[in-house]
């Protein structure tokens, strides 16, 4: 080797500039366009938020889709896909007739709101489908105390006594999701069950104003409260990343339990806000308020995906997504989530009343923000 080239390599290695060539084959993270095996997919639900994105992706990958709903919810995202699927009507409460004597390869249970609903459909479908995917939630980890938020964590299965109404509501949801997971596993066994535990889902079609709040707030500009420490982490998942990954888990027959959370790195609250602001040109000034008592007293503990560091919520943004990453979960950049959510927010799918409400409706944080800032400043002077 020429002296100059060796010198260059030595210097580059010292600076860490020369890539280390790994002889093992590269695992492609980019999903293939179409799946080779065409699946017949049944979705219990399918017309609200997550469902339409699952349907759009499944059809795009060449699968066949049936949905089962009461026929009440009118889909507001991907309305074009519904003429291309089978729409079965019934009620998980008391009418599963349309599901009897049929065959599918896999079922996705999105609409589980009661443990009994999942028990009933799992028992009914056990010989009619190969895999049961239950859409659970990270709420199975409530209260979010301690450090381990991997899939191995013990689940909440009982509601303790002596709790507040608000705590009861959170417990009930967590227990319902945990016991529904158990019902799935009891009937289908671990080899034929797929459990996905999403964190807060965001993106086009969101029925909550949690993520739209931040877009509307930053678009408005001015002084913006950022609650909590600047280094606290934020977790969320783009509904399209979640929906698409769930379909791929089914294609791969990837039985198991997975946390479905993003992004793929610890994103701080500051990075999250600045990341959103990169899509806007409004003049803004951020005011970081890290006094948890002050935030709580002023009703500011739930501007999600922020979660104020009350002991029972401290770990809510720390769910461990390594298993999901290993199983092919990929993430769009925040800018894409912002762009798609913004396009949907200003489309006919969202009534003007909802847009007005976030800015100035009763209890709107934006209405109260200037007042809270004033209080914050005067409390700092004391």
Ligand X SMILES: NC(=O)c1ccc[n+]([C@@H]2O[C@H](COP(=O)([O-])OP(=O)(O)OC[C@H]3O[C@@H](n4cnc5c(N)ncnc54)[C@H](OP(=O)(O)O)[C@@H]3O)[C@@H](O)[C@H]2O)c1
Contact positions vs ligand X (CB under 6 A): 45-51, 69-73, 91-93, 110-112, 135, 137, 198, 200-201
CB of 63 to ligand X, least distance (A): 16
CB of 173 to ligand X, least distance (A): 8
Residue length of the chain:
382
Question: Please, which residue, 236 or 298, has the CB nearer to ligand X?
Answer: 236
Strands 222-227 and 284-289: parallel
Burial tier of 348 (Cβ tally within 10 Å: 0-12, 13-18, 19+)? exposed
| CA 218 to mean position of chain CA atoms | 21
- Cα 270–336–234 angle (5° rounding)? 30
CB of 299 to ligand X, least distance (A): 21
At a CB cut-off of 8 Å and minimum separation 6, what does 220 contact?
Answer: 282, 359, 366
Taking the C-alpha atoms of 162, 168, 174 and 177 in order, what is their torsion angle to the nearest 10 degrees?
120
Burial 259-275 (b: 16+ CB within 10 A, else e): bbbbbeeebbbbbbbeb
Rounded CA-CA distance 73/46 in Å is 9
Question: Please, which residue, 138 or 218, has the CB nearer to ligand X?
Answer: 138
CB of 11 to ligand X, least distance (A): 50
Angle between helices 210-220 and 269-277 (to 10 degrees): 60
Question: Please, which residue, 178 or 289, has the CB nearer to ligand X?
Answer: 178
Decide: 281 and 221 in contact? Cβ < 8 Å: no
Rounded CA-CA distance 90/108 in Å is 16
CB of 287 to ligand X, least distance (A): 27
Question: Please, which residue, 48 or 268, has the CB nearer to ligand X?
Answer: 48
Question: Please, which residue, 197 or 298, has the CB nearer to ligand X?
Answer: 197
At a CB cut-off of 8 Å and minimum separation 6, what does 381 contact?
Answer: none
Decide: 140 and 155 in contact? Cβ < 8 Å: yes
CB of 49 to ligand X, least distance (A): 3
Decide: 158 and 176 in contact? Cβ < 8 Å: no
CB of 137 to ligand X, least distance (A): 4
Question: Please, which residue, 215 or 289, has the CB nearer to ligand X?
Answer: 215
Phi, psi angles (nearest 5°) of residue 64: -105, 140
Decide: 117 and 94 in contact? Cβ < 8 Å: no
Question: Please, which residue, 39 or 50, has the CB nearer to ligand X?
Answer: 50
CB of 72 to ligand X, least distance (A): 4
Question: Please, which residue, 313 or 372, has the CB nearer to ligand X?
Answer: 313
Question: Please, which residue, 139 or 309, has the CB nearer to ligand X?
Answer: 139
For residue 65, the SS3 value is strand
CB of 206 to ligand X, least distance (A): 7
């Amino acid at each position: 080797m020429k002296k100059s080239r060796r010198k260059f390599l030595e210097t580059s290695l010292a600076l860490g500039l020369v890539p280390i060539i790994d002889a093992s084959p590269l695992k492609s993270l980019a999903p293939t366009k179409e799946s080779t095996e065409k699946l017949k997919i049944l979705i219990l639900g399918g017309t609200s938020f997550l469902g339409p994105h699952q349907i759009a992706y499944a059809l795009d990958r060449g699968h066949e889709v049936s949905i089962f709903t009461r026929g009440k919810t009118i889909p507001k995202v991907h309305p074009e896909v519904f003429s291309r699927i089978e729409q079965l009507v019934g009620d998980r409460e008391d009418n599963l007739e349309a599901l009897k004597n049929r065959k599918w390869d896999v079922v996705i249970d999105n609409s589980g709101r009661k443990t009994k609903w999942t028990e009933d459909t799992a028992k009914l479908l056990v010989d009619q489908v190969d895999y049961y995917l239950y859409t659970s939630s990270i709420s199975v980890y409530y209260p979010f105390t301690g450090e381990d938020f991997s899939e191995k964590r013990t689940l909440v299965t009982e509601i303790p006594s002596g709790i507040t109404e608000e705590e009861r509501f959170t417990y009930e949801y967590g227990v319902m999701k945990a016991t529904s997971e158990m019902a799935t596993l009891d009937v289908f066994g671990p080899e034929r069950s797929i459990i996905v535990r999403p964190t807060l889902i965001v993106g086009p079609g969101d029925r909550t104003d949690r993520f739209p709040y931040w877009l509307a707030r930053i678009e408005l500009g001015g002084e913006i409260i950022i609650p909590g420490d600047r280094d606290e982490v934020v977790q969320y998942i783009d509904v399209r990343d979640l929906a698409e990954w769930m379909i791929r888990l089914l294609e791969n027959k990837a039985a198991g339990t997975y946390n479905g959370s993003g992004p793929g790195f610890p994103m701080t609250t500051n990075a999250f806000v600045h990341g959103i602001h990169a899509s806007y040109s409004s003049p803004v000034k951020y005011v970081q308020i890290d006094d948890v008592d002050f935030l709580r007293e002023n009703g500011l503990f739930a501007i999600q995906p922020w979660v104020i560091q009350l002991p029972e919520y401290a770990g809510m943004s720390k769910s461990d997504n390594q298993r999901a990453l290993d199983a092919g979960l990929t993430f769009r950049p925040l800018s894409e989530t912002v762009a798609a959510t913004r396009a949907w927010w200003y489309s006919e799918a969202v009534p003007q009343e909802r847009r007005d409400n976030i800015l100035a409706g009763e209890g709107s944080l934006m209405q109260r923000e200037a007042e809270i800032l004033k209080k914050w400043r005067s409390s700092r002077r004391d």
